[in-house]
Amino acid sequence: LDRIERDLGCGKTVWSVLGCPVAVGNGYQAALMAPTEDLAKQHYETITKLTKDTPIHVAMLVGGQGKKLRNEVLADLAEGRTNIIIGTHALIEEKVAFEKLGLVVADEQHKFGVAQRKALHDKYHDAPPAILIMTATPIPQTLALTLYQDLDVSTIDEVPPRRQQIAQ
């Protein structure tokens, strides 16, 4: 379990996205969980662009998908045809099965409950995936996770050059 923290726009997502192809290159699948469909779609579009000239297959699983598309995504995921899945809380539903999950990234981790973040980990208790949690909102829960769950904290201590100002 690792955690990346820093301000909005500092590059946390880029670091997490870099871990996904590493997992895939080692024969595993990766899942990136976002708290909203809009954020999941942004991640999906970004990762799809970054992997467009590679054999990596990226898919998205969100609550608002039609049943036919959802069933196709679930089948591809379970059979290992999907390498990287981007989604919302839909990723932790009971019907979701992975062939070989190796990495789970939880973006904006403070917006998920402890049980929700651990659901994918616990689902595969015999071979649990690595978990990377990201946040721009340090909270007391980080201390508890560090003390009781062997959490390593990585802090991005500088922002990318020429970073645009973040409108809040």
pLDDT value at residue 10: 47
The predicted-structure confidence for 89-140, as pLDDT tens digits, reads as follows: 888 888 999 999 998 888 765 445 556 656 666 776 677 787 777 665 555 5
Work out the number of other CB atoms within 10 angstroms of the CB of residue 118. Answer: 18
Mean pLDDT, rounded, of the chain: 76
Give the DSSP per-residue string, the chain.
-EEEE--TTSSHHHHHHHHHHHHHHTT-EEEEE-SSHHHHHHHHHHHHHHTTTSS--EEEE-TTS-HHHHHHHHHHHHTT--SEEEESGGGGSTT---SSEEEEEETTGGGS-HHHHHHHHHHTTTSPPEEEEEESS--HHHHHHHHHS--EEEE--SPPTTPPPPP-
Q: Tell me the CA end-to-end span of the chain in Å, nearest whole number.
A: 30
pLDDT in tens, 65-86: 999 999 999 999 999 999 999 9
The larger pLDDT score, comparing residue 82 to residue 50, is at 82
- Tokens standing for residue 68: 């036919």
User: What is the Cα–Cα distance from 82 to 59, expressed in whole angstroms?
Assistant: 6
Under the banding of pLDDT at 50, 70 and 90, the label for residue 162 is low
Tell me the whole-structure pTM to 2 decimals.
0.75
pLDDT at 142 over 70: no
* Whole-number Å distance between alpha carbons of 141 and 127: 26
Q: How far apart are CA 48 and CA 30, in angstroms?
A: 14
- pLDDT for the residue 131: 77
